[in-house]
């Protein structure tokens, strides 16, 4: 009897070990999948930003936003029809989803203005402060608890932002301040996105994001008039932007619906690497020491913030 009991315990332990190994392997594979989606998304967003800046040399901001928004709406609209995804589900009419769409609209307006009239590198560096802004917004508007350590990280991150925009120095461009306003709206969008039910398909979320971009163009028409004829070069750039932008939106939704926050989220910062490379190569922008140091503070504080607040939670964006 004792031998049978020992054998039964041995079998149970063996099964538990195998089950644990399979579970760990599955979690690792899920993290890797989400990381690859995140990196692909950040590369796509960087390319889209670069194309927007290039188009704005010969088009008003409103026209650029409308054309890129149209491209995304058509792409995801057709995708939704082919995959039989319902774009007008009950969830998308709820107030929180409407607020998210409006936040997307506002962030697009301010961030695109910053890219066009300041610089791609500075705007992209400021954008990396979004996770810190999310924590700040949660503390102020949602009354969520923020520890002393997190307040210090937020302060360090925003010191980094000041180092990037360099107010009072010769290289300062006031248009860079629009990027900060854009970050605030992005923070609101991201905070709401975490509450979005995973039952809403990624195609639907992406469709409405590009619809917001289209509406952003319409809203800014009174401020950016004199539309330009669309040339073959413009169409080529729009195709690149549509492919990069739609692919990026889809990838980021997929990346934020699985994996561990502390593992996956830091790869958001790869967007800055792609953006800096494009800014230097295609727009001859200069990256000075102050900007590198400021970017390092933003990224460093953001990664520590993510690690301290989300190491044990799953992403539910």
Helix axes 120-127, 289-310, angle to 10 degrees: 20
Domain contains 42: yes
Largest CA distance in the chain: 91
What DSSP string runs through 288-313? -HHHHHHHHHHHHHHHHHHHHHHTTS
Domain contains 12: no
Q: Render pLDDT for 231-260 as a digit per residue (tens, 0 to 9).
A: 999 999 999 988 898 888 888 878 877 777
Total domains present in the chain: 1
Domain interval for residue 104: 33-310
Domain contains 28: no
Specify whether the CB–CB gap between 76 and 206 falls below 8 A: yes
pLDDT at 286: 86
Cβ neighbors of 302 (< 8 A, separation 6 or more) are 128, 129, 131, 132, 153, 157, 266, 269
Domain contains 316: no
State how far the Cα of 212 lies from the Cα of 103, in Å rounded to an integer. 9
pTM for this structure?
Answer: 0.78
Domain contains 227: yes
The segments of the chain whose pLDDT lies below 70 read 1-27, 141-143, 168-171, 193-199, 261-262, 308-317
Domain contains 317: no
Domain contains 10: no
Q: Render pLDDT for 139-152 as a digit per residue (tens, 0 to 9).
A: 776 667 778 888 88
Domain contains 22: no
What is the 3-state composition of the chain as percent helix, strand, coil, each rounded to the nearest 5?
80, 0, 20
């Amino acid at each position: 009897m004792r031998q049978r009991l020992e054998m039964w315990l041995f079998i149970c332990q063996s099964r538990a070990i195998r089950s644990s190994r399979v579970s760990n392997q599955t979690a690792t594979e899920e993290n890797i999948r989400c990381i690859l989606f995140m990196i692909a998304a950040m590369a796509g967003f960087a390319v889209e930003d670069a194309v927007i800046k290039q188009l704005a040399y010969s088009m008003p901001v409103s026209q650029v936003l409308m054309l890129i928004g149209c491209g995304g709406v058509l792409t995801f609209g057709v995708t939704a029809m082919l995959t039989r995804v319902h774009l007008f589900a009950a969830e998308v009419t709820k107030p929180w989803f409407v607020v998210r769409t409006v936040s997307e609209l506002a962030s697009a307006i301010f961030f695109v203005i910053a890219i066009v009239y300041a610089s791609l590198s500075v705007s992209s560096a400021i954008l990396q402060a979004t996770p810190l802004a999310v924590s700040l917004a949660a503390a102020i508007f949602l009354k969520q608890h923020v520890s002393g350590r997190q307040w210090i990280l937020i302060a360090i991150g925003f010191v980094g932002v000041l180092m990037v925009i360099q107010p009072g120095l010769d290289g300062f461009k006031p248009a860079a301040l629009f990027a900060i306003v854009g970050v605030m709206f992005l923070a609101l969008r991201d905070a709401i996105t975490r509450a979005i039910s995973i039952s809403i398909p990624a195609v639907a979320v992406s469709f409405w994001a590009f619809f917001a971009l289209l509406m952003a163009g319409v809203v800014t028409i009174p401020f950016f008039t004199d539309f330009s004829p669309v040339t073959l070069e413009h169409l080529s750039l729009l195709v690149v932007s549509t492919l990069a932008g739609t692919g990026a939106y889809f990838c980021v939704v997929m990346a934020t619906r699985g994996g561990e926050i502390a593992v996956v989220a830091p790869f958001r910062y790869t967007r800055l690497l792609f953006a800096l490379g494009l800014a230097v190569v295609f727009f001859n922008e200069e990256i000075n020491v102050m900007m590198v140091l400021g970017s390092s503070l933003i990224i460093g504080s953001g990664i520590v913030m993510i690690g301290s607040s989300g190491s044990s939670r799953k992403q539910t964006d």
